[in-house]
Structure 1
Amino acid sequence: MTFARHDPINDAETLPRMPSWVTSARVEGLEDVAFLSGAALSHLDLMLGRADVPHALVRDRLALRAAEACVRVEGRPERVAELRDAVHLLRPDDLPGPAGETCLAWRHAVARPISIQALHRALAGVEAEKIAGWLDGCDPRGAGTGAPVTRAATVLEAVLAEAPRAEVTGLILAEAALAQTLGWTHLGPLLAAGLKRTDLRKRGDDLRLACHRAVTASALEAVRLAADLARRAAHLKAVAPKLRAKGAGEAVEMFLSCDAVAPTALPLPDRAARRLCDRLVKLGVVRELTGRDTSRLYGV
């Protein structure tokens, strides 16, 4: 008996798509919206369970989107390009600024498995005991139980009731509650990108309704993102054996886990790092993200 050769690129091309009835349904009631968000989360969970999805990269890009949404809520002008610069072009003695701090908080939040200690590192200005109190107090039966979106909305409401201007803290902890209840080891930000400033002022069923809608829309985008990055990652992995530069393997792993990479961050001499990035762009497996001639950033 013979078996077909495993082809990661073809596998990535056959990733499942979100059912059309989830994306096309128009419902208003809390029960119906909750049903759709559950279906969307179930499909996303199935997608994220695939080994060919670059999970760290998906999380990092979702974190960037969440950070941009939070910066917009705060009324700040920075968008994706400026956030990337604030994080990846930061020098050792530089301060990231408010927008950069928001982006770093989200990146730190998704980088490690969920724990009180990891969340405290991401939210350096918030005491670990306070974080535990918000998460445990909103779920007396213990972390990971109850309806995912309902628990996330409850955590968000509790944080904002006590600290109305702590949107980033509330959203990161709500995402942690959502991920825990889904049985995920890491945050996969969904709520932040789908909630508007006016939604964050809502309470009770109105907030839960907004959270269900946000999760449904964001899960759809996350499925598309995961499918796209799985295809791109498969192409990068296919050319990786052809790269002979010392440190190229480590560089490829960085591209497979980070939204953006500066050549100076790669484990190669500066000139060799720039040459590697240029070659990967020519091979069509990495993109230059800034459009600049200097201070460039690259990503899958």
Structure 2
Amino acid sequence: MLSSRIPPENSPSFPRRLPAWISSARAETAEDAAFLTGAALSALQVVLVQPDVPHALLRERRALAAAEASVIRAGRLERAANLRDEVHLLRPGDQTGPAGAVFALWRQAVARPISVGTLHAVLPGIAAPDIATWLDAGQGAPVARACAVFEAVRTVHPRAEEAALILADAVLAQAMGGNTIMPLLGAHLTARDLRTSGADLRGAGYAAVRKAAAETLALSQDLRDRAAQLKAVAPQLRAKGAAAAVDLFLSRDALSPSLGLTSSGVGMSDRAARRLCDRLVALNVVRELSGRDTFRLYGL
């Protein structure tokens, strides 16, 4: 049986966590905070450019973290498991509740490359020319630029907190040389942080990004190991549609056998989909995420 704790053989070794001098250091000054945050982003960048990291899946998991942070800021009781249920058990024609809508929004935001058009499609309440201006705005280091854009969006759209965070994370990703959003600020800024401005907001942004970078680095390596193990057993899967199902597991936060694997893109019967998921769990390459006997969800 494969163990999810053992890295794939012959795979390159990359950092699995931030060095202690970054993660444990106390930022006594704004300069310290900026330096430590830059070091954290640099360590994360080493991993994010590796081709064997399942990037789409990693972004979806970070989108879930950002959505959970959002509902916590709003004082709601839903947590990650509830958000997964609302989105991944949604039947065609149904609508999510308010909390599920936040997760769906972040999933849309991270799914496609950053551009004015794609962001306007995700955030139709924000004018495309304004999005273009904000994507090109700002000088200096990534976090400072992102925080400046958050403030600018908040000034024009004071009730569009989620849109401001998505655009801030888009600017942060671009400033790091990326072309897709990796939710960092959105996952760790608190309600109190979002009421600040200027140097206070930048300080909160530095702290949030360091936490998010540490989490994302560890998660990326865990998903990298799990993805390699799933790919290793994929040739053993003879069921019709198994290859397409494996591709979905490598890119989706969670899947319902009866909803996610019976679609036209996979084409499995409900029974075959359940049997495939049970086998992947037995092989220790996929986990059952819901903890229920019915309406189960599976993922890496």
TM-score (norm. length: structure 2): 0.92
1:123-272 to structure 2, matched below 5 A, reads 123-136=123-136, 138-139=137-138, 146-263=140-257, 264-266=259-261, 267=266, 268-272=268-272
Which position in structure 2 is the counterpart of 1:5? Answer: none
1:47-66 to structure 2, matched below 5 A, reads 47-66=47-66
1:73-88 to structure 2, matched below 5 A, reads 73-88=73-88
Task: Rate the CA distance shift 1:12–1:262 in 2: closer, same or farther, 3 A.
Answer: farther
The letter for the 2-side match of 1:103 is F
Q: Is the 8 A contact 1:40 1:220 kept in 2?
A: yes
Report the alpha carbon displacement of residue 74 of structure 1 after superposing the two structures with TM. Answer: 1.4
CA distance in 2, matches of 1:46, 1:245: 37
CA distance in 2, matches of 1:24, 1:12: 28
Q: Secondary structure at the match of 2:230?
A: helix
Report the alpha carbon displacement of residue 175 of structure 1 after superposing the two structures with TM. Answer: 0.3
**Runs ≥4 in structure 1, deviation > 4 angstroms?**
none
Which position in structure 2 is the counterpart of 1:111? Answer: 111
Which position in structure 2 is the counterpart of 1:3? Answer: none
Report the alpha carbon displacement of residue 28 of structure 1 after superposing the two structures with TM. Answer: 2.7
CA distance in 2, matches of 1:286, 1:40: 30
Specify every segment of 5 or more residues in structure 1 that has no aligned partner in the other structure, as ranges: 1-7, 140-144
1:42-69 alpha-carbon deviations (Å, 9 max, x no partner): 0100011112211111111001100110
Q: Is the 8 A contact 1:64 1:106 kept in 2?
A: yes
Q: Is the 8 A contact 1:110 1:186 kept in 2?
A: yes
CA distance in 2, matches of 1:124, 1:88: 23
Q: Secondary structure at the match of 1:131?
A: helix
Deviates more, 1:119-128 or 1:53-62: 119-128
Specify every segment of 5 or more residues in structure 2 that has no aligned partner in the other structure, as ranges: 1-6
Report the alpha carbon displacement of residue 99 of structure 1 after superposing the two structures with TM. Answer: 1.1
Q: Is the 8 A contact 1:12 1:234 kept in 2?
A: no
Q: Secondary structure at the match of 1:114?
A: coil
Task: Rate the CA distance shift 1:11–1:33 in 2: closer, same or farther, 3 A.
Answer: farther
CA distance in 1, matches of 2:46, 2:12: 16
Q: Is the 8 A contact 1:146 1:181 kept in 2?
A: no
Report the alpha carbon displacement of residue 162 of structure 1 after superposing the two structures with TM. Answer: 2.3
1:283-298 to structure 2, matched below 5 A, reads 283-298=283-298
Root mean square deviation of aligned Cα? 1.6
Deviates more, 1:123-132 or 1:207-216: 123-132
Which position in structure 2 is the counterpart of 1:9? Answer: 8
1:14-33 to structure 2, matched below 5 A, reads 14-17=13-16, 18-33=18-33
Q: Is the 8 A contact 1:87 1:104 kept in 2?
A: yes
1:198-249 alpha-carbon deviations (Å, 9 max, x no partner): 0000000110111011101110110000011111111111101100011101
- % of aligned pairs identical? 58
Task: Rate the CA distance shift 1:31–1:11 in 2: closer, same or farther, 3 A.
Answer: farther
The number of aligned residues is 288
